[in-house]
């Protein structure tokens, strides 16, 4: 279980304007500014949940993950993970969690991943039999096969990420903090990692908190999402609920062989895109049955698909609103 209560993390950063003169000045007198990376965030995640953690760049996602993983001391508030206070970094806490950072590596560069695994086995004091079973399971789930005996520097980005995941999970943690685990990977590899996270979660009833820039990862993996912006929590709930409140209209795409004017289409819904014969409309839920009936009936529409609005779009609107709200606030 993960619990954050009124969690804050402030950084004191040195600030100076560009230019040589200000560089000289800053040697003598420095100006500091307090950045509120995380600003009063509260949530609870139960064991076995998969939660997506979203927010624009610099929203405080990674900082929150680092506080929860015990890498950073919170400025105030309380964090509790698996019953431990993270920043105390007790042995049993560190044995129960893992943090995977898509942009950082723990594999030894010049040696095959198997050497890093041997090292982690010693560090986490994993019994020999358990190590063998876990490695076999991870090898199967991630399709590692020959990769673990190739020097890390010879692996592709995707292959390396799979090996990183295995290194981070050899001690069978119950709580997984995944910070951009699919960054820079191609679609096939993203899918593989996604499947893996889902099956690890089911097999071990592991709690997963995931940040990703790829909304597809989040939509596919996380029934619940937490959204933060400028260090503040702006949404916590199930994904479908968020979509319904923010934008209940559906996206209806179809192909028309007969010509139709934009005006005629406007009677059915808002025209979002028209690319040759492929058309996308935005139609409210109440008008959906009638519009679809008309499309499939008299208009002979083919390849019709009804979808929720893309998560990117919803978030863009959300962050826009949150920014407006901040602009309206008096300065601190």
Partner 1 sequence: MRRYLRLVTVQFRISAAAGMAYRSDFLLEGVMTIAWAALTLLPLAVLYDGRASVAGWTVESALIVMAYFMAVKAALEGVISPSLIDLVERIRTGAFDYVLLKPVDAQALISASRFEPWKIFDILGAIALAAYAFHRRGLGPPALADVALGMLLFVAGVLAMYSIWIMFAAASFWVVRLDNLTFLIGAIFDTARWPVHVFRGVWRFVFTFIFPIAVMTTFPAMALLGELDSDTALATLGGSALLLVLSRLVWRTAIRSYTSASS
Question: x/- site string to partner 1, residues 136 to 165, per CB under 8 A?
Answer: ---------------x--------------
> Which window, 20-28, 98-106, 226-234, 320-328, contacts partner 1 (CB under 8 A)?
98-106
The three-class DSSP label of residue 193 is: helix
Neighbouring-strand partners of residue 76: 8
Q: Is 74 in the site for partner 1 (CB under 8 A)?
A: no
Closest CA to 228 of 238, 220, 236, 216: 236
The three-class DSSP label of residue 131 is: helix
Q: How many of the chain's residues bind partner 1 (CB under 8 A)?
A: 36
Question: Which of 119, 265 has the CB closer to partner 1?
Answer: 119
d(CA 131, CA 140) in angstroms, rounded, equals 14
> Which window, 122-130, 229-237, 263-271, 315-323, contacts partner 1 (CB under 8 A)?
122-130
Question: x/- site string to partner 1, residues 168 to 207, per CB under 8 A?
Answer: -----------x----------------------------
Looking at 16, 73, 240, 244, which residue binds partner 1 (CB under 8 A)? Answer: 73
Question: Which of 8, 105 has the CB closer to partner 1?
Answer: 105
Question: x/- site string to partner 1, residues 212 to 231, per CB under 8 A?
Answer: --------------------
DSSP 52: E
Question: Which of 115, 247 has the CB closer to partner 1?
Answer: 115
Looking at 18, 19, 125, 263, which residue binds partner 1 (CB under 8 A)? Answer: 125
d(CA 154, CA 243) in angstroms, rounded, equals 43
Looking at 1, 35, 80, 119, which residue binds partner 1 (CB under 8 A)? Answer: 119
- Alpha helices by DSSP H, listed for 105-214, are 113-124, 128-142, 157-169, 187-204
Question: Which of 171, 251 has the CB closer to partner 1?
Answer: 171
d(CA 272, CA 282) in angstroms, rounded, equals 7
Q: Is 35 in the site for partner 1 (CB under 8 A)?
A: no
CA dist 286 → 61, 121, 231, 241, 293 (Å): 37, 58, 37, 17, 13
DSSP-derived pairing of the beta strands 270-275 and 278-283: antiparallel
Q: Is 108 in the site for partner 1 (CB under 8 A)?
A: yes
Q: How deeply is 111 buried, as exposed, middle or buried, from its count of CB atoms within 10 A (0-12, 13-18, 19+)? A: middle
Q: Supply 48's token pair.
A: 């076995």
DSSP 100: E
Q: Supply 158's token pair.
A: 């995707």
Looking at 26, 106, 139, 280, which residue binds partner 1 (CB under 8 A)? Answer: 106
Would you tell me how many other CB atoms lie within 10 Å of the CB of residue 264? 10
Neighbouring-strand partners of residue 232: 229
Contact 319, 56 (CB under 8 A): yes
Question: Which of 75, 280 has the CB closer to partner 1?
Answer: 75
Residue environment code for 305-322, b if the CB has 16+ CB neighbours within 10 A, otherwise e: eeebbebeebbeebbeeb
Question: Which of 112, 269 has the CB closer to partner 1?
Answer: 112
> Which window, 18-26, 45-53, 117-125, 229-237, contacts partner 1 (CB under 8 A)?
117-125
Looking at 51, 68, 99, 295, which residue binds partner 1 (CB under 8 A)? Answer: 99
Q: CB of 163: closest distance to partner 1 in angstroms?
A: 14
Residues at the interface with partner 1 (CB under 8 A): 11, 62-63, 66, 69-73, 89, 91-92, 94-95, 97-99, 101, 103-106, 108, 110-111, 115, 118-125, 151, 179
């Amino acid at each position: 279980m993960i619990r954050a209560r009124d969690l804050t993390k402030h950084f004191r950063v040195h600030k100076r304007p560009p230019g040589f003169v200000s560089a000289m000045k800053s040697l003598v007198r420095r100006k500091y500014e307090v950045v509120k990376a995380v600003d009063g965030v509260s949530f609870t995640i139960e064991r076995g949940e998969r939660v997506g953690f979203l927010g624009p760049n610099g929203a405080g996602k990674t900082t929150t993950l680092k506080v929860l993983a015990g890498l950073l001391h919170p400025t105030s508030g309380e964090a509790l993970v698996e019953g431990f206070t993270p920043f105390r970094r007790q042995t049993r806490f560190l044995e129960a969690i893992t943090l995977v950072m898509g942009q950082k590596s723990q594999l030894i560069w010049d040696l095959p991943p198997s050497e890093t695994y041997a090292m982690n086995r010693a560090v986490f004091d994993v019994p020999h039999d358990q190590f063998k079973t876990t490695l076999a399971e991870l090898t199967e789930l991630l399709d590692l096969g020959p990769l673990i005996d190739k020097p890390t520097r010879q692996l592709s980005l995707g292959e390396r990420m799979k090996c990183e995941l295995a290194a981070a999970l050899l001690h069978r943690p119950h709580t997984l903090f995944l910070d951009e685990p699919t960054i820079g990977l191609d679609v096939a590899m993203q899918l593989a990692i996604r499947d893996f996270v889902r099956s690890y979660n089911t097999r071990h009833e592991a709690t997963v908190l995931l940040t990703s820039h790829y909304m597809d990862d989040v939509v596919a993996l996380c029934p619940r999402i937490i959204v933060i912006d400028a260090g503040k929590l702006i949404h916590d709930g199930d994904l479908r609920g968020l979509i319904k409140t923010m934008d209940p209209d559906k996206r209806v795409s179809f192909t028309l062989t007969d010509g139709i004017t934009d005006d005629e289409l406007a009677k059915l819904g808002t025209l979002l895109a028209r690319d040759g014969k492929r058309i996308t409309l935005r139609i409210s839920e109440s008008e959906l049955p009638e519009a679809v009936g008309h499309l499939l009936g008299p208009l002979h529409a083919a390849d019709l698909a009804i979808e929720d609005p893309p998560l990117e779009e919803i978030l863009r609107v959300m962050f826009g609103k949150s920014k407006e709200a901040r602009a309206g606030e008096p300065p601190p």
